[in-house]
Structures are given as structure tokens and as C-alpha cells.
Structure 1
Amino acid sequence: MNAQNILLNRDTTHFLDAAAHPLRQEIEHLRKLVLDAAAGLTESVKWNAPNYSIGSLDCITMKIFPPKNIQLVFHRGAVKKMQPAERLIQDDSGLLDWKANDRAVATFNNSAAISKNEEALKNIITQWVAACIANQ
């Protein structure tokens, strides 16, 4: 990871401090990974979790409650849009559980699973952000 490119949001950090989440280490790993993977992402708290947007377009949100695992939800914002005919990106890693052609979830139970899939996840994030921008 390139630490100089990572801009963790202070309000998100305070939110997570107050949450006292048992998987905080995993959350922090994913925060840094998401921000490092795609230039221009902004971190905030939305839907009671860390959220990542490009401009005003929300595209990735963590699901941290209930605290049994951490999920990265890949989406195109809260407003329903016309479904693309095909999946927004190609995922050869098998990490994504597709809910619709423009919505998928990656689930992690521990830091080892995140570390093992870090390169594939960075690729997914980079592709996802680019696809979201192209398909607004």
C-alpha cells in the first residue's frame, strides 16, 4: 500500500472508535486497501458504516453490523438505476457474490482472508470505480 495516497477520514475513525467493533483490525485493513486501490475516492460514514464515493457517487460501502464479518458492498448509490445487461465488471477471482448486475458483495471473516485476496480485491475496486463513473 502507498501510505501517502491514503486519506482516512477523521470522522470515520471517530465513528469506528465509538463502535468498538471486534473486527476493527479487519476494518482498518479494508479502509486502507480501498483508498489505496482507486485514486479520488473519498471516505465518509453513511448507512452506519464506512462509505466510499467518487465525487457525489457512492460506489462502495462496508457492512460492519452485525459484527460477525465485514462485507464490502459494491453498488452504484442509493437511487435505483436501470440494470445493465451484463455485470458491471469481470471478476475472475470469485470474491464477489453478485446480487444484481450492478451490485455485488465480498465477505471477509479475518485479516488472513483479506491479505490472501488483496491483489484481486484491489483489481476489483479499481474496475468497480471506473465502471461506476462510466455508467452513472
Structure 2
Amino acid sequence: MPLNNDVTRFLDELHHPLRQEIEALRLIILQANALLEENIKWNGPNYSIGPEDRVTMRIQPPKQIQLVFHRGAKVKEQPKGRLIQDASGLLVWRENDRAIASFKHMEAVKAGEQALAAIVRNWIAATV
């Protein structure tokens, strides 16, 4: 899936200090699942399948990048257990259907690339 030009322009205007990390994360997410579409939502890059938001990149405050894994904006009944397994430890769980992965520098992005791609694939499979 190609990068969305509107998202690129949005990021160009921000002059974010972690822009390289943002770009690497964009590619990892989009390459993990060909059905994902990139757009802007909640003041950052967002990834959805059709109208269903699944991963949102939180880029403010600019000290770290967070990927929020969710099932959309509307509250849904919680599953009994976590939606996916994460042996890598990248995810911090907020609810059984909401987790966050945080990245403060490029080394963390590179170290977590394989695990993150698997998390994205598994998240989409579990939530679509």
C-alpha cells in the first residue's frame, strides 16, 4: 500500500523531531497488511480498513511516537481476554481491545520491526 500524500504533507508541515521514526513506522504498518488505508485522524496518521479505524499514530507530545491499537472510536463490549498475544512485550494493554506500543528512537523502531509487523497483522485479523 503506498503512502498517502495528504499524510505526507501533514507531516511535512509539522517538522516533527522524530520524523524518520514516523516514516519507518508508516512503512512497517502499511507493509504488514495490504488492506490498510492511511489517513489523518486525531491529529496523526491513522490506519483503517474501510471505515473501521484500527491503528492510530500518536505523534504529540514530540518526545515519543505511540501506536494505539484499537477497534474504533466507539466503545464496544470488552472481550474476555486480550485480542492478540504479544510475546515481544511491545504492547502495553489499556483494555482487552486497546493496546499501545511506544517508540522513542530509531533503534527501538528497528529492533521492534518484525514484532510490530506481526502485531499489526494479528490485530487486523482479530478485529476485522
Q: TM-score, normalised by structure 1?
A: 0.93
Q: Which amino acid in the other structure matches residue 67 of structure 1?
A: P
Question: Post-superposition shift, 1:55?
Answer: 1.1
- Distance in 2 (alpha carbons) for counterparts of 1:79 and 1:22: 31
Partners of 1:39 and 1:12 lie apart in 2 by: 17
Three-state SS of the structure 2 residue aligned to 1:62 is strand
Q: Residue 62 of structure 1 is aligned with which of 57, 60, 72?
A: 57
Match of 1:31 in 2: 26
Q: How far is 1:39 from its partner?
A: 1.6
CA displacement, residues 55-79 of structure 1 (integer Å, 9 cap, x when unaligned): 1100000000000100000000001
Match of 2:109 among 107, 114, 134: 114
In the alignment, the residues of structure 1 paired with residue 85 and residue 115 of structure 2 have an alpha-carbon distance, to the nearest angstrom, of 11
2:125 is equivalent to residue 130 of structure 1: yes
Aligned partners of 2:59 and 2:43: how far apart in 1? 8
Structure 1 counterpart of 2:90: 95
> What is the aligned length?
128
Q: What does residue 3 of structure 1 align with?
A: none
TM-score (normalizing by structure 2): 0.98
Does residue 17 in structure 1 map to residue 2 in structure 2?
no
Q: Write the distance in 1 (CA, Å) between the matches of 2:34 and 2:98.
A: 21
SS in 2 for 1:115: helix
Ranges in structure 1 where 5+ consecutive residues have no aligned partner:
1-5
Work out whether 1:71 is the aligned partner of 2:66: yes
Question: Where in structure 1 do 4 or more consecutive aligned residues deviate above 2 Å?
Answer: none
The alignment status of 1:104 with 2:88, answered yes or no, reads no
Structure 2: gaps (5+ residues): none
